[in-house]
Structure 1
Amino acid sequence: MKKLHLLFGVAALSLACEAMSSPPTQQSPKSGGDGSIGLANQNAYSLPQANLPMTKRLDFSVGNSFFRNPWVVAPASTDARDGLGPLFNTNSCQGCHIKDGRGNPPGETLSSVSLFLRLAIPPRGEKDRELLERHGFVPEPVYGSQLQTAAIPGSKAEAELVVEWERFEEELADGSLVAMRRPIYRIENPNYGPLANDVQISPRVAPPMIGLGLLAAIPEQDLLTNADPDDSDGNGISGRTNKVWDRASEQTVLGRFGWKAGEPNIMQQSMGAFAGDMGITSALAPFTDCTQSQGCERFPHGGEFEVSDEVANFVAFYASSLAVPIRRDMDKSEVKAGAAAFNEAGCAACHTPRHVTGVVADRPDLSLQEIWPYTDLLLHDMGPGLADGRGEFLADGNEWRTPPLWGLGLATTVNPAAGYLHDGRAETLEQAILWHDGEARPAADAYRELDATKRNAMLQFLNSL
């Protein structure tokens, strides 16, 4: 057995070293390794890993039921799924992660349910040190860390989220005009008093759920090796890791999930969403975002805790087992030309194409997989245009974690209203590219300089992922 583990270790090390060559060209359509699936319709993000053992498929289905079905107000006959609120944003995980995919910002006929506002205030001296260490920010004193726009009967929603869109055009080098939009956020009709004058707001739209278990399986050392916080190689890219609080182990660890890499693992990310988005407690997140002045304790709860450890494990298993769709149209000449343009523009410096997962105990489907997520999972300064001004642990107000690109071409197939970037402001992939600034400005400028044929080729490449 020791010899077998040694062989796996040597194989993993060899593949990992090979994966560090930059930028590798994807040869296999299996972006998610052996677990990749060949579906390209509205359900493309909702299948289990193709190599998930049959003995684990029931666990996946049970987790799916708690992820998909609505939670209800307590007390209820469905006591395994009660305890919603009193303050919340949505009543199910699928309410934001539509068909396990991206959410969308509100529009003229769309609600804001899959976009919410994170809240914070600047630290106010020594008393906020523990909050910064444990939460990564200081919550707004009355409204907490997230604006809840819904409430159960007898309670009042915190406020209304209003988004207005400022339309403008951007001119490219060849004179082409690209329609763009900029969101303007307002919090109206607060029901629990005024917000702090120095409140910081960060809009977040739900990201896709695919491949999370594979991202969790990328060895930490690989991420640290790719980090270059001081830009020692002089290429203008200074990706760095976030260091966050792990509630289970009660220590600071590397962050890799969330828009600012503010969560260390899938379980904590999931239970944090239950508490913040739905007002549902668990052993890992025993308190919701309701503050003392809002009086939520007067309402019945769904048990201590509302998400049992068993249910939490099912949900985390589900979230770690959603398969990545295979790539399409890889052999088309336009797609190959677009891949070359992507690399030449420098996009792969942050959107690292290839990784190799380590060995995950009891998860052979996630172990030693060659994957193509197109992310380094590191923080990068994206410039003032995308800045939210709100820090999260080591991430500052200009920094965002590089989002994976796998499955990108199916985003609007899964959710026709899906938006791109952290707040969904980009309606198209071209808009998303043009919003890149800061460290990514040279890559965006390279796109601006391309002729129409090469721009179209790059977009075709992105849509093939």
Structure 2
Amino acid sequence: MTINRYWIMPLMTCLISCSKVSVPAFQEAEHLPAGGMTGKGLSDRSFVQVGRNVDRKEELKFWTGFSLFRDPWVIAPSSTRDRDGLGPLFNTRSCISCHSAGGKGPAPAEGLSKPSALVIRLGSAQHGLFVDPVYGGQIQPRAIAVTHSSIQPDLVGEARLDLRYQQISGQYADGTSYTLRQPTYDLTDLAYGELDKRSVLSPRFSPVIYGVGLLDAISAEDLLSQEDINDNDQDGISGKYNRVPIMPSRHNTAIFHQPIADLSDTLSLGIGRFGHKAKQPSLHQQVAAAFRDDIGITNTSFETESCSIQQKNCQAASAIGGHQSIEIPDKLLDLVTQFNQLIAVPPARGINAKQVQQGRDLFYKLGCESCHTASYTTDVNYPHPRLANQKIWPYTDLALHDMGEGLADGVNEYDANGQEWRTPPLWGIGARKSVREENLFLHDGRAQTVAEAILWHGGEALTSQQSFIQLDLAQRSALLAFLDAI
């Protein structure tokens, strides 16, 4: 399949419009994109290191939290009560299997598989939050091995994924060709019958975790000052923030097993920051949700298993596990959250180089900063002092933007519609190749390079994407060098 990338905007028009954009002066602070939470160096093995301003006492808690993040959970009951409760249905046994070395997980295999770092969410085009009546909000491809008279039929994973790619060819304005991967997703071996007719598959590839504590520390006021739902400034960008439920501890989450859950009447709402559609309002809630949804570990924010009431064998397996209430207590969940808070962001690399600075100019002139907001100062009153009042350079507004039909999944999550995705942070994006040879980008990992990710941009980002296509090889190389350096 071939798509025509010779867009109607000529190169001269692009250069004229770009010349009108004011590029901010380079700041020495850009060398330390996370301020005092920037890493002391770049490892070729892992992103797991503490920020440079973390004291010894906090570092000990960091490594304790890392052990809970790294080590696999086991089936209950077991002799290790602090680490049992896996499943009954689950996606993976540990956090690190999805976030290898603190970065992204392994690439999903094409064909039939049970991937860990790529999860399949279930939703619909209906407003609010839809979950499949039988399979819930996410496919769990694995199940614990358990033999008991009460479990009939045998407990098995919910489905397998059939992933296929179609090649799409195109050209830059200078005649250089490129190829993109267009994925298709199907489920096979559905263990509990067919999906609800309203259910739509939404693939989500695991993000990096470094810097998430600082994203949590940006004030809501600073974020909301960027909201422009109706594009009142007429710049073609209409970012908005997802309004999502704040889950209090000990809340009965059985409501999530209803086909349509309108939680606005029962819970207070916050600004969504985490997840590809900004579904979670805080880092703590993001970690708590991942424990329940991915590993099957219940907690005080999400007390019920991911089994639906129709999955009787899953309910029976949960009942014989031995836990009378939740499976990870707050003291351990807090340690994992603190590990996520304090993991360092890689320092900038070679950012003073002439080519990189040329790319920096293009980043602003092409309008990339309209969504990938370069810098903030974190909230001076943020509860963790190491994260408070830090000048940071994450290159994201954390807002939802329409990214066009090419990236659409057709799934609504609260205020996010089927074409909207949260702007991902760009800091450390070039450092990832030091840790993992293969890197994937975008919400489903379809892009194998940063350039491919840019080429997939549509919707509000279409003008910037077209401008990128119009650049010559030297200009493209400069822009990509800047992204590689930050």
- Give the TM-score of the pair, scaled to structure 1: 0.90
| One-letter identity of the residue aligned with 2:62 | F
Q: Is the Cα–Cα contact under 8 Å of residues 121 and 196 in structure 1 kept in the other structure? A: no
> In structure 1, the residue corresponding to 2:93 is in which secondary structure?
coil
Name 2:53's counterpart in structure 1: 51
Q: Is the Cα–Cα contact under 8 Å of residues 114 and 161 in structure 2 kept in the other structure? A: no
Name 1:197's counterpart in structure 2: 197
Q: Is the Cα–Cα contact under 8 Å of residues 125 and 418 in structure 2 kept in the other structure? A: no
Deviation at 1:146, TM superposition (A): 0.1
Deviation at 1:416, TM superposition (A): 2.3
Name 1:456's counterpart in structure 2: 477
Q: Is the Cα–Cα contact under 8 Å of residues 71 and 81 in structure 1 kept in the other structure? A: yes
- Are residues 1:142 and 2:145 paired? no
Distance 1:371 1:236 in 2: 26
Name 2:211's counterpart in structure 1: 211
Deviation at 1:276, TM superposition (A): 0.6
Name 2:445's counterpart in structure 1: 424
* Higher deviation after alignment, 44-53 or 93-102: 44-53
Distance 1:62 1:38 in 2: 20
- Are residues 1:181 and 2:201 paired? no
> In structure 1, the residue corresponding to 2:326 is in which secondary structure?
coil
Name 1:114's counterpart in structure 2: 117
Distance 1:252 1:108 in 2: 39
Cα offsets for 1:134-188 (capped at 9, x unmatched): xx41101111000111111141000101101111212111111112101110100
Distance 1:23 1:400 in 2: 27
- Are residues 1:268 and 2:268 paired? no
Change in Cα spacing, 1:302 to 1:322, as seen in structure 2 (3 Å) is: farther
- Are residues 1:353 and 2:374 paired? yes
Q: Is the Cα–Cα contact under 8 Å of residues 105 and 423 in structure 1 kept in the other structure? A: no
> In structure 1, the residue corresponding to 2:406 is in which secondary structure?
coil
- Are residues 1:382 and 2:403 paired? yes
| One-letter identity of the residue aligned with 1:113 | S
> In structure 2, the residue corresponding to 1:445 is in which secondary structure?
helix
> In structure 1, the residue corresponding to 2:225 is in which secondary structure?
helix
Q: Is the Cα–Cα contact under 8 Å of residues 124 and 410 in structure 2 kept in the other structure? A: no
Q: 2:301 aligns with which of 253, 262, 284?
A: 284
Name 1:34's counterpart in structure 2: 36
| One-letter identity of the residue aligned with 2:122 | L
Deviation at 1:254, TM superposition (A): 1.1
Q: Is the Cα–Cα contact under 8 Å of residues 100 and 210 in structure 1 kept in the other structure? A: yes
- Are residues 1:402 and 2:402 paired? no
Distance 1:41 1:98 in 2: 14
| One-letter identity of the residue aligned with 1:240 | K
Cα offsets for 1:268-290 (capped at 9, x unmatched): 11110111101110111101221
Q: Is the Cα–Cα contact under 8 Å of residues 407 and 419 in structure 2 kept in the other structure? A: yes
Cα offsets for 1:211-258 (capped at 9, x unmatched): 111111111111111111111111000111110000118311111111
Distance 1:138 1:111 in 2: 23
* Higher deviation after alignment, 45-54 or 141-150: 45-54
* Higher deviation after alignment, 149-158 or 450-459: 149-158
- Give the TM-score of the pair, scaled to structure 2: 0.86
Correspondence 1:66-465 to 2 at 5 A: 66-108=68-110, 112-123=115-126, 136-154=128-146, 155-248=155-248, 250-295=267-312, 296-299=314-317, 300-301=320-321, 303=323, 304-465=325-486
Name 1:62's counterpart in structure 2: 64
| One-letter identity of the residue aligned with 2:63 | S
Deviation at 1:302, TM superposition (A): 5.5
> In structure 2, the residue corresponding to 1:408 is in which secondary structure?
coil
Deviation at 1:27, TM superposition (A): 3.0
Distance 2:114 2:326 in 1: 30
> In structure 1, the residue corresponding to 2:438 is in which secondary structure?
coil
Change in Cα spacing, 1:214 to 1:53, as seen in structure 2 (3 Å) is: same
Change in Cα spacing, 1:83 to 1:232, as seen in structure 2 (3 Å) is: same
Q: Is the Cα–Cα contact under 8 Å of residues 40 and 52 in structure 2 kept in the other structure? A: no
| One-letter identity of the residue aligned with 2:239 | G
How many residues are paired up? Answer: 434
Distance 1:60 1:46 in 2: 10
> In structure 1, the residue corresponding to 2:129 is in which secondary structure?
coil
| One-letter identity of the residue aligned with 1:119 | L
Change in Cα spacing, 1:412 to 1:285, as seen in structure 2 (3 Å) is: same
Distance 1:378 1:210 in 2: 19
| One-letter identity of the residue aligned with 2:133 | P
* Higher deviation after alignment, 209-218 or 35-44: 35-44
Q: Is the Cα–Cα contact under 8 Å of residues 104 and 205 in structure 1 kept in the other structure? A: no
Change in Cα spacing, 1:198 to 1:37, as seen in structure 2 (3 Å) is: same
Change in Cα spacing, 1:139 to 1:26, as seen in structure 2 (3 Å) is: farther
Q: Is the Cα–Cα contact under 8 Å of residues 219 and 358 in structure 1 kept in the other structure? A: yes
Structure 2 stretches of 5 or more lacking a match? 1-21, 147-154, 250-266
Deviation at 1:104, TM superposition (A): 4.3
Q: Is the Cα–Cα contact under 8 Å of residues 23 and 352 in structure 1 kept in the other structure? A: no
Distance 2:459 2:382 in 1: 39
Percent identical pairs in the alignment equals: 40
Q: CA RMSD in A?
A: 1.7
Change in Cα spacing, 1:200 to 1:111, as seen in structure 2 (3 Å) is: closer
Change in Cα spacing, 1:384 to 1:420, as seen in structure 2 (3 Å) is: same
Deviation at 1:103, TM superposition (A): 2.5
Q: Is the Cα–Cα contact under 8 Å of residues 390 and 396 in structure 1 kept in the other structure? A: yes
| One-letter identity of the residue aligned with 2:430 | G
Deviation at 1:56, TM superposition (A): 1.1
Distance 1:255 1:230 in 2: 19
| One-letter identity of the residue aligned with 2:196 | A
Distance 2:371 2:24 in 1: 10
Deviation at 1:396, TM superposition (A): 0.4
Distance 1:51 1:362 in 2: 16
> In structure 1, the residue corresponding to 2:63 is in which secondary structure?
helix
